A and B are shown apart, each in its own frame.
Chain A
């Protein structure tokens, strides 16, 4: 197993399709995930995040296209890949009727970890993920956040090179979410490549790189900064006394991609084709409603709205 061509990437996929009957769950997915990076899948419900992860873990066979993970061609070599990847499923998939410790012991044995090594590894995981006190509690009786920490502990137990996390923080409060991400960065520092799906913008922003998925299609990818810099729109914040009315009027214009109310302000995305967005807004018939307008730094949410807007129209 020496120098496979795409070994520089942990994951590389070309033109991957996956259909469920008539439904095209994934279309033309091209993906390159560098090693030791955190790569994010950002997308709304049903956009195909879970399906993409299942394809990349070898759980589903692609309808077309080629996938190579850690140098193994999938789905052919899925079995060999198993020792090197960890997968935290979206739905809790450890055993509700086993205790935290029993769940980890089960996994440890499955991965061939025994005796002293097993004991050491499990105590370490319990302390890293703050589960010491819960070691003998049934997994089914734990809170959502605790369960997710247990799932993560289970997924990293065998120190995989590549970790797939499917919406790992969906049941975690913001405080614990931050801590969870600290742990992901620790893992990343230790050399693990992480692919994580989310529909939280703040989480997506923490990723080294991310792909925005919508309706099974990758709309954009790159680092959060790149995505914001290359965004196909200007972001203008507008002050007005009659925001709802202004918003409805702006919406009818082709140049306006979106207008979203943020308290007393309106965040307007204007197509990049318009070179001077402020001037453009000022010359509109409803310009007298605009008290103030200024260009602001785009956020990832703006990127998301710009990319996915097309699909909705």
Chain B
């Protein structure tokens, strides 16, 4: 009874302080809003309009049609013409263009003999038929751009000859579930919930105890009968609400601006989110009991935040990472929540089928709370 009252006292105090701290209050709303707009529009793995150049040795009508046909795919934009290969290489080095198409003198002959055109005549040696019609020089240091250009390797060429495209039967049929239009936002928006919650939840609570220590309030607090766990709980409960508000902002805007559907059950989504919020808050509290000042707590927050962004599956697929990185990722609450929220929001999975991710979040929270309460000693030593 008294314990409940004390938790409530800390909770209300924390709310009041938050209410008066306009800056923080604004951040609570603005961080998810701005990040969502930024990431939602900016991060795009469907590469388009890569600036490229061309070195046209043939200078024929065909070569011009070829350039137009490639442009029509929208993957590249031909912005520059170069006279020599050396010039083109320099342009790539200087970053003016990311790739250059080199069209050889005999492009027409090559095209006619090309298998994909399938004219079958005139007969020629293997070596001749297998010659590509032109060549790309690509700055492949960015693997995504390189992949985009590589995807042009097998583009159909029949349009060049005013013939209907030869639709060969593909080896595999591919059915795209959940994101048939392959929009990046569909994957990014739910992931952003995990990233932003990690950031704000850990950041707020990691400063929580430290701030009281820095301002001298701790000396007063620890002479009162308030217990460690009451203080901890009272301090994190307001942020649970904040976390839920942020989640609602991100998913709501994701739905209305980026048309990211919410396919799963809201109840399960809420439960998973609450667990993740709890785990993040508790992690923040643990940091708060270790850090000596707010700068240290900020550094530790970033120490957790970076792997949560890079290893959790938000940026790069989890399965593509080396085993060691996967182990680290497994320890992070963000990884588990990333799976959960993508599962629930996009694939309408029943959370029971992903219960091990839930268990981990729960265990993480309990252990964290115990560590924070134990570490927070009610004295000044």
Contact = CB atoms under 8 A, between A and B. Distances in A.
Contacts of B6: 109-110, 112
A61 B377 CA distance: 12
A107 B224 contact: yes
Contacts of B216: 89, 91-93
B220 A59 contact: no
A92 B217 CA distance: 8
Nearest to B225: A82
Which of A85, A112, A138 neighbours the largest number of chain B CB atoms within 10 Å of its CB? A112
B167 interface: no
Which of A79, A95, A107, A109 neighbours the largest number of chain B CB atoms within 10 Å of its CB? A109
A289 B5 CA distance: 73
B13 A94 contact: no
Given A78-B378, A106-B9, A112-B5, A97 B223 contact: no
| Interface SS, A side | loop
20 contacts: A57-B223, A59-B219, A59-B223, A59-B379, A60-B381, A75-B379, A78-B378, A87-B223, A89-B219, A93-B217, A98-B17, A102-B16, A105-B9, A106-B9, A109-B5, A109-B8, A112-B2, A114-B5, A138-B20, A154-B220
A102 B13 contact: yes
Contact of B381 (A61, A83, A102, A107): A61
Chain B, interface residues (CB within 8 Å), range: 20 to 34
A280 interface: no
B12 interface: yes
Nearest to A103: B13
B380 interface: yes
Interface in B1-29: 2, 5-6, 8-10, 12-13, 16-17, 20-21
B225 A109 contact: no
Contacts of A82: 223-225
B215 interface: yes
Nearest to B222: A59
Interface string A28-50: 00000000000000000000000
Contact of B21 (A89, A93, A97, A154): A97
A277 interface: no
Contacts of A94: 217, 220
Nearest to A106: B13
A54 interface: yes
A37 B257 CA distance: 71
Contact of B378 (A79, A85, A98): A79
| Interface SS, B side | helix
A59 to B, nearest CB: 5
Given A97-B20, A98-B13, A98-B17, A110 B217 contact: no
Contact of A93 (B8, B12, B219, B378): B219
B89 to A, nearest CB: 62
A96 interface: yes
Interface in B183-215: 215
B379 A58 contact: yes
B222 to A, nearest CB: 6
B366 to A, nearest CB: 24
Contact of B16 (A83, A89, A98): A98
Contacts of A57: 223
Contacts of A154: 220
Interface in A67-103: 75, 78-79, 82-83, 85, 87, 89, 91-98, 102
A118 B269 CA distance: 41
B362 interface: no
B225 A111 contact: yes
Contacts of A59: 219, 222-223, 379-380
B226 interface: yes
Contacts of A61: 379, 381
